[in-house]
């Protein structure tokens, strides 16, 4: 049977759709053709007509295709991400942590494995050049006291304004400017009174823990209250440093038990999503009990 088009032309068409033919062109545009999908390496049987119409070649990389969750997590790790939640599907954001710099991001599985998508923060800021990192810190008044790690890790530094040691992150310094916890005007003052709080959100089925300072310009409790969150309890501390220690102790304990953030930044544009937990697994009463036990 004479081919309707040359084999070389058909092969080029399939390669344009990122499918590498493993056998000669079968001769008809709607006939399955054994190929290897270039991005993921799977053996597939697309037909040339579907590929040329833009429907995609690989059933395994389709947005709703089935995936083994463990294999999907391994593939993410191989591409530089530790996943933090169960597999949501190939075309949906998957909360993960960037191995290189520690950023918490939500890339899509198909972008990461099929298009070599990487951490959006590392692409924008880079893991960090040590010399440039020091220069950027000195530009806003910090003198680093230890070697540079990466853009997302706390970096022990001396604030040349107040001459106190703090641990800003290079990412925050670059995006927000001066970030000294001791002389910040709007952030938590470690030496001033503060309140750890526990809140819940019936609509999201979530609880969260956090801190608001008594001498800060913004009241975090009031801010979340306007977004559907209800105060379950608040504790009083004489210093923000003690309140921060308790909050972080509770979060570390729950992380050690396997509890990951329950909501994403899309649910909480006001921030604070990394301190959220599912109410069915971590009731508000337990958050409060852990905080009181850590005092």
Residue 61 CA to residue 98 CA, distance in Å, equals 22
Q: Which residues of the chain have pLDDT under 70?
A: 1-3, 62-66, 114-116, 123-128, 152, 161-162, 175-179, 181-190, 215-218, 269-271
Q: Burial of 133 by CB count in 10 Å (0-12 exposed, 13-18 middle, 19+ buried)?
A: buried
| pLDDT of the residue at 24 | 92
> Which pLDDT value is given to residue 185?
45
57 and 46 Cβ atoms separated by less than 8 Å: yes
Place of tokens 């545009």: 29
Report which of 71, 74, 131, 77 is spatially closest to residue 100, judged by C-alpha positions: 77
Contact present, 150 and 101 (Cβ < 8 Å): yes
Residues 179/173, Cβ–Cβ less than 8 Å: yes
**How many beta carbons lie within 10 A of that of residue 75, not counting itself?**
17
Give CA angle at 155 (153, 157), nearest 5°: 165
pLDDT, tens digit, for every residue of 67-79?
A: 778 888 888 888 8
Q: What pLDDT does residue 248 have?
A: 84
**Sequence-distant contacts of 151-156: CB under 8 A, at least 24 apart:** 151/101, 151/103, 151/121, 151/122, 151/125, 151/126, 151/127, 152/98, 152/101, 152/102, 152/103, 152/121, 153/101, 153/102
At residue 22, the pLDDT reads: 94
- What is the reported pTM? 0.42
Q: Identify the CA nearest to 5 among candidates 49, 60, 70.
A: 49
């Amino acid at each position: 049977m004479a081919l309707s088009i040359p084999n070389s032309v058909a092969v080029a068409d399939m390669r344009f759709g990122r499918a590498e033919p493993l056998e000669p062109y079968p001769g008809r545009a709607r006939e399955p053709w054994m190929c290897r999908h270039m991005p993921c390496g799977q053996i597939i049987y697309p037909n040339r007509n579907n590929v040329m119409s833009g429907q995609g070649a690989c059933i395994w990389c389709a947005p709703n295709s089935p995936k083994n969750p463990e294999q999907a997590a391994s593939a993410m790790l191989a591409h530089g991400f530790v996943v933090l939640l169960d597999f949501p599907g190939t075309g949906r954001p998957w909360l993960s942590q960037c191995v290189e710099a520690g950023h918490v991001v939500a890339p899509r599985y198909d972008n990461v494995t099929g298009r070599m998508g990487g951490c959006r923060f590392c692409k924008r800021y880079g893991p960090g050049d040590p010399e440039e990192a020091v220069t950027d810190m000195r530009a806003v008044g910090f003198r680093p006291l230890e070697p540079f790690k990466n853009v997302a890790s706390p970096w022990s530094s001396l604030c040349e304004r107040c001459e106190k040691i703090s641990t800003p992150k290079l990412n925050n310094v670059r995006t927000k400017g001066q970030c000294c916890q001791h002389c910040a005007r709007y952030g938590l003052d470690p030496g001033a009174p503060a309140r750890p709080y526990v809140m819940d959100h019936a609509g999201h089925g979530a609880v969260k823990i956090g801190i608001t300072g008594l001498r800060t310009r913004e009241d975090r409790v009031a801010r979340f209250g306007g977004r559907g969150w209800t105060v379950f309890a608040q504790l009083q501390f004489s210093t923000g440093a003690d309140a921060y220690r308790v909050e972080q102790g509770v979060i570390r304990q729950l992380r050690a038990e396997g509890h990951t953030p329950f909501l994403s930044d899309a649910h909480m544009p006001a921030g604070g999503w990394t301190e959220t937990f599912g109410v069915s697994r971590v009731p508000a009463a337990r958050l409060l009990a852990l905080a009181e036990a850590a005092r």
